[in-house]
Amino acid sequence: MSMDKASVNLIPPASVAANAQLGLELREKFKRGGTDVGVSRAQGLAARRSITFEDAAHIGSYFARHTVDKQAKSHDWGDVTNPSAGFIAWLLWGGDEGEKWVKTIKADLDKA
């Protein structure tokens, strides 16, 4: 059964929006993590603004490049009391839920 591209949900789920918002808050508090591009992405995700298919590909490519950041030894991954710059950046892009979401979008597009 094929899907129509128009039926692919491009609105960030609440969990992705919450991760992006947390990333913005941690970046403000700890003054590290992410780039201006990541901050801009986080603002859109946190506001649950619809993305494009190109945005989904860009987000997916961010996660593919930065999965290695989880192996950093200087901070525990996921620690919000002293987060690594990599963890904050990961959250800005939607966190683990964002990674799963864009993989779902890609799978849905492959079916379309």
- pLDDT above 80: residue 4: no
Mean pLDDT, residues 6-35 taken together: 95
**Nearest-angstrom CA–CA distance, 84 and 77:** 7
**pLDDT value, residue 110:** 83
pTM of this structure: 0.93
pLDDT at 9: 86
DSSP 69: G
What mean pLDDT is predicted for residues 64-73? 91
CA 82, CA 68: separation in Å to the nearest integer? 19
Q: Domain boundaries in the chain?
A: 5-111
- Radius of gyration of the chain measured on its C-alpha atoms: 14
